[in-house]
Chains A and B, each alone.
Chain A
């Protein structure tokens, strides 16, 4: 029995790259949902400390101060805006009997790289350099720039970009695994969903602000 299981597991693969880019081979359902919601809550808390808003499925901006629930609500809106259309595409296109909990759970967990983004955006240097840039481009006023702030800001931008790419890769893998959709069908419906979700989440977050 153990030998048999080992053979099946060996062929399934369990490498570091699998854990980094397709953890959904090993984690899905309620476990992924609880992990994802927990990470979303921590990201919201860290985001609230540095006023980092995830105000769109892929968006990261530093901005206004807000209560903790607002930061968490942004994360939940982002997650649901993408998970709902992907679930419907799955229902229409998949020949497998998919479970709602897998689609929503894996999409929640796929947002985990933004925890790292919220940490990278935490230093106050980001906000200061943001104010400098705003002044420079809107009013044309040339404030004195702090070199350290510029380096910290540059580092945060690089980290945020890498994390955004990683998150999109994870979202795609989550969709492919939880709905069992592959190839062009998966890529096209994922792109359509992410564009629609970006617009939907932006609108809902604006409504939340009002």
Chain B
């Protein structure tokens, strides 16, 4: 499957979705849609979050599943949280600039 691009290759700005299509009936919707903040994470980090939720948010369970140590898994989660906060801040700043 192709990776969803989220950053503009020309100016490095955040991309938005302009068109959505139904695979069943080919109905196409045009508009300007914000991409969910989680899509800004790397595919590996998105999978990590998915597995973390499926593990009921248990770092111990994640460490067991991934065969990594508890602090390694916790550090990775902290890194993802940091990136999400940065993405949120960038989004807020962009919103303010537009106003």
* Chain A residues in the interface with B (C-beta under 8 A): 1, 4-5, 7-9, 11-12, 24-29, 32, 95-99, 102, 106, 177-178, 180
- Tell which of B3-11, B20-28, B68-76, B89-97 binds the partner: B68-76
Interface of B is mostly: helix
Q: What are 21 sample pairs from A and B whose C-beta atoms fall under 8 A apart?
A: A4-B47, A4-B51, A5-B51, A5-B65, A8-B48, A11-B44, A12-B66, A12-B72, A24-B71, A25-B69, A26-B67, A28-B72, A95-B78, A98-B71, A99-B70, A102-B69, A102-B70, A106-B71, A177-B69, A177-B72, A180-B75
| Residue in B closest to A12 when the chains form the complex, CB atoms | B68
Q: How far is the CA of A26 from the CA of B73 in the complex (A)?
A: 10
The 5 closest A-B pairs by CB, nearest first: A28-B69, A11-B44, A180-B75, A25-B72, A102-B71
Q: How far is the CA of A99 from the CA of B69 in the complex (A)?
A: 12
Q: A26-B68, A26-B69, A27-B69 are in contact. Are A8 and B75 (CB under 8 A)?
A: no
B67 contact set on A, CB distance < 8 A: 9, 26
Whether the pair B74, A7 counts as a contact (CB closer than 8 A) is no
CB distance from A2 to the nearest CB of B (A): 10
Of the listed residues B47, B71, B74, the one surrounded by the most CB atoms of chain A closer than 10 A to its CB is B71
CB distance from A54 to the nearest CB of B (A): 26
**Which listed residue (B47, B51, B68) contacts A25, Cβ 8 A?**
B68
Of the listed residues B47, B51, B65, B70, the one surrounded by the most CB atoms of chain A closer than 10 A to its CB is B70
Interface residues of B in 40-99 (CB under 8 A from A): 43-44, 47-48, 50-51, 65-72, 74-75, 78
Q: How far is the CA of A97 from the CA of B47 in the complex (A)?
A: 23
CB distance from B48 to the nearest CB of A (A): 6
Q: A95-B78, A180-B78 are in contact. Are A8 and B66 (CB under 8 A)?
A: yes
B70 contact set on A, CB distance < 8 A: 28-29, 99, 102
Q: How far is the CA of A180 from the CA of B44 in the complex (A)?
A: 20
Q: How far is the CA of A209 from the CA of B61 in the complex (A)?
A: 46
Besides the known contacts A12-B68, A177-B71, 10 further A-B residue pairs in the complex with CB atoms under 8 A apart: A5-B51, A7-B44, A9-B66, A12-B72, A26-B67, A28-B70, A32-B69, A96-B71, A99-B70, A180-B71
Q: A8-B48, A8-B51 are in contact. Are A99 and B71 (CB under 8 A)?
A: yes
Whether the pair A24, B47 counts as a contact (CB closer than 8 A) is no
Q: How far is the CA of A24 from the CA of B71 in the complex (A)?
A: 8
Whether the pair B71, A178 counts as a contact (CB closer than 8 A) is yes
| Residue in B closest to A177 when the chains form the complex, CB atoms | B71
CB distance from B12 to the nearest CB of A (A): 24
Whether the pair B47, A8 counts as a contact (CB closer than 8 A) is yes
Q: How far is the CA of A180 from the CA of B71 in the complex (A)?
A: 8
A8 contact set on B, CB distance < 8 A: 44, 47-48, 51, 66
Q: How far is the CA of A178 from the CA of B69 in the complex (A)?
A: 9
A1 contact set on B, CB distance < 8 A: 51
